[in-house]
Amino acid sequence: MSLKNINVSKAGPNCGAFIEGVDLSKDLSVNVVAELRQALGEHGVLFFREQNMDPSHHIALAEKFGGVNINRFFAHVEGWPQIAEVRKEPDQKANIGGGWHTDHSYDQIPALGSILVARETPTIGGDTIFSSQFAAYEALSDGLKEMLDGLKAVHSSRHVFGKGARYKERGEDLGGRLGNEDAAQQDAIHPVVISHPISGKKALYVNPGFTLRFDGWTDEESKPLLETLYAHAARQEFTYRFQWSKGSVAFWDNRATWHMALNDYQGERRLMHRITVEGEPVTT
């Protein structure tokens, strides 16, 4: 990948890249934005260190890549409804995003990606793991690729954010951080394998967080194959574990990656600000 305006170095063999030489608090040029978009489509997630961004900078950055999706279910930063809080207080046990998932796959038009800014981090722990769904697809057997071709899957927000959400059934202390359960009425059907809108590369597009079943299949029929795909897509060689510090930024592409926030910092506070960028329909 030949880039003139940014410095890109791979984070892991299959997932992620570090970007240097870019101040995200500045008004980025058209050329820099184009190269960041290209790098995102190639690597799936971009990492930045030591950024000094206030909420206005955060919003301005997101708007360079698309419209801002106002999150329906997360608490918002006071005075900034465009920015969702991903917060865990020292006395809280459950964290947000603690299982493998892809943001907004339940929407008819899924999000392009999310930009997460670290505001407060624990002294140790609280990392986020990302997994490349480009690499996961490429490593499938030819037979399984042929089987998945043409399949679609059903995604939903109801079981995650609705009245019967799993976190409520488990008694997890997410109250006050998640809400608006009546708005959890999103259902969508997407191809199981998509062509990435930026890079054109094939990617798996199912995830344990929001995918329910294959379209036209029962839950019972779907479960064995979905679990096989989930175990495959989470393989260590497809992943990169990002260690946060104050001022760190991760910009991930929801069409190309999964992510999972580790909950290994009990008794400490972790506060992140997230903006989700609107995307486009996903196609084969």
Residue numbers annotated as active site: 101, 103, 259, 274
Q: What tokens appear for 281 in the block? A: 């329909």
What is the residue-wise DSSP string for 192-236? Answer: SEEE-TTT--EEE---TTTEEEETTS-HHHHHHHHHHHHHHHT-G
Identify the CA nearest to 50 among candidates 133, 107, 118, 101: 118
CA distance 203 to 218: 24
Contacts of 223 (CB under 8 A, 6+ apart): none
Identify the CA nearest to 268 among candidates 93, 53, 7, 141: 93
What is the residue-wise DSSP string for 85-127? Answer: EEEE-TT----TT-S-B-TTTTSSS--SEEEEEEEE--SS---
Q: What tokens appear for 41 in the block? A: 């489509």
143, with CB counted inside 10 A (0-12, 13-18, 19+), is exposed
Q: What tokens appear for 187 in the block? A: 């259902």
CA distance 233 to 257: 10
CA distance 215 to 191: 9
